[in-house]
Amino acid sequence: MMDERIVRGRIDRAGALLSADAPLLHLQQRAGSGLGKPLALPHLARLVALAQRLQRDISRPLHTADDQSDIHALVRITPDAEGADVEISDWRPRPADPPQVPAIEDSLATPQEWAWECDQQLRLVALRPGAEAPALPADWEGRSLSELFELQPDEDGRFPVLRALARQSRFAGQRVRAELDAGRTQMELSGHALFDATGRFTGFRGVAALAEAEEADSAAPPRADPIFGSLPLSDPRFGRRIDGALRGPLSRIIATAETISGQFDGPIRADYARYAGDIAHAGRHLLGLVDDLADLQNIERPGFQAAADEIDLGDLARRAVGLLAMKAEEKGMRIDAPRTDDKMPATGEFRRVLQVLLNLIGNAIRYSPENSLIWIRVDREGDRAMVTVADQGQGIAADQQAAVFEKFERLGRTDSGGSGLGLYIARRLARAMGGDLIVDSAPGQGARFTLSLPARD
């Protein structure tokens, strides 16, 4: 197995293999060729010829085989005037006759498990409960595996099922949370890779078992994190270490995924481009969570104060609408913003008020139906300057309206739309500026969030 190292080779202008690391040379020899002879691996030879013709780097999946195994890998070809360099990574030999995977009906080892099967895009196509297993969610069909099960990283911060998807191999120990009638339940997934008669990867089949509860030892001292140590959230160094530990790597992940999704290095398969787009989306979501955690650490620091700038709520509302207009257009939504002559002088920190408005308008776009209307109005009541953001979403029941301002509260939502910190942070900022943030809503009647600040004459 050559899972980690890179296999390299050099091809001349005529297509002959000039040099190669042992795995590539061995495959060339088993195909009846050798060094100084034409490349005998048809798929790789075609990719090299394409790169030389285009005179640009290309990266592609590589599928080839000998009489003992199928080879799946990723290849990058860099052409130059004399030929091309080949770098092959994630080299994964797989037996030509893949192991037999139990039928879904025979997968269950205990009656407390679920048997499941998904396609190559991780969409569930089958889910069977054991005789003593929890009842299945009613709407599981066609949902993504990661939508039904909230994936949890292992001790190394990795997700076994995603690693197995990249390698098209079996996995075990994928811890998940599932929302069941009895509440949130810890489970553990394991599965085998599935292949059709041509050797094409078609998905996974496996089991979901109830995980053993982890009992915390109250007498044991907390383990120190290698990056954050034992720093409390209120320590200013916590926020700075978030930047160094998370923001840089996440930014690189997003940039790389967007490069792949945009096919800037050459065309790739449409499903691979979609996967890369999903990775970029998830990375942006995580980066937003990092921002929220940094804000949370800042506003909960003893003595936090906001600046007292002279601002115009009408102007800030129009700025926020301009920043989010494209996102609204993608859903066919219209935002009725304050007119240019709608001025509402107030006192508050410019960037913090803009942050609150971006959160309110962003939530309205995220949780409202397509082709609906969002309206924003400014007003004054006594010594309070106010801006209201109203939507046509599903609304919020009276007994849940206080909960939307609590930490990590998302009212049962399982999508990746937010961290559950935005409204908590927004209200804390409003109150730090001498104002408040309230909601007026009812089920089926949308929601109206009103930010109030000290008015300025």
- Nearest-angstrom CA–CA distance, 55 and 184: 54
132 and 112 Cβ atoms separated by less than 8 Å: yes
Would you place residue 23 in the very low, low, confident or very high pLDDT band (cuts 50, 70, 90)? Answer: confident
pLDDT value at residue 412: 46
In this prediction, residue 275 carries a pLDDT of 78
Task: Categorize the per-residue pLDDT at 56 as very low, low, confident or very high, splitting at 50, 70 and 90.
Answer: confident
Compute φ and ψ for 290, nearest 5 degrees.
-60, -45
Q: Is 116 or 90 the better-scoring residue by pLDDT?
A: 116
- pLDDT tens by residue, 314-358: 999 999 998 888 889 889 999 999 999 999 999 999 988 998 999
Q: Is residue 228 pLDDT above 60, yes or no?
A: no
Distance CA 119, CA 293 (A): 35
Instruction: Determine the Cα–Cα distance for residues 137 and 139; give it in Å rounded to an integer.
Output: 6
Mean pLDDT in residue range 45-53: 84
Summarised one tens digit per residue, pLDDT across range 292-323 is 666 776 777 777 788 899 999 999 999 999 88
Identify the weakest region by mean pLDDT among 31-40, 59-68, 350-359: 59-68
pLDDT in tens, 244-290: 566 667 777 877 777 787 776 667 788 777 878 878 777 776 777 66
User: Is the backbone of residue 146 left (phi > 0), alpha (psi -120 to 50) or beta?
Assistant: alpha
Considering the four listed CATH numbers 2.60.40.420, 3.30.1130.10, 3.30.450.20, 3.30.1300.30, the one that applies to the domain covering 104-210 is 3.30.450.20
Q: Residues 5-33: what's their mean pLDDT?
A: 87
Quick check: 110 pLDDT over 60? Answer: yes
Where does 7-95 sit in CATH, by number?
3.30.450.20
- DSSP H helical ranges for 108-169: 145-148, 160-167
**Model pTM score:** 0.45
Distances (CA, A) of 167 to 47, 53, 89, 251: 21, 30, 11, 24
Distances (CA, A) of 28 to 46, 93, 96, 148: 15, 15, 18, 45
Q: How far apart are CA 142 and CA 123, in angstroms?
A: 6
Does 125 or 64 have the greater pLDDT score?
125
User: DSSP character for 152?
Assistant: -
Q: pLDDT grade, residue 448 (50/70/90)?
A: very high
**Taken in order 64, 70, 72, 75, is the CA torsion positive or negative?**
negative
pLDDT band for 386, please (50, 70, 90 cuts).
very high
Separation of alpha carbons 37 and 23, rounded Å: 17
Homologous superfamily in CATH for domain 309-454: Histidine kinase-like ATPase, C-terminal domain (3.30.565.10)
**Using CA atoms, how far apart are residues 170 and 100, in angstroms rounded to an integer?**
12
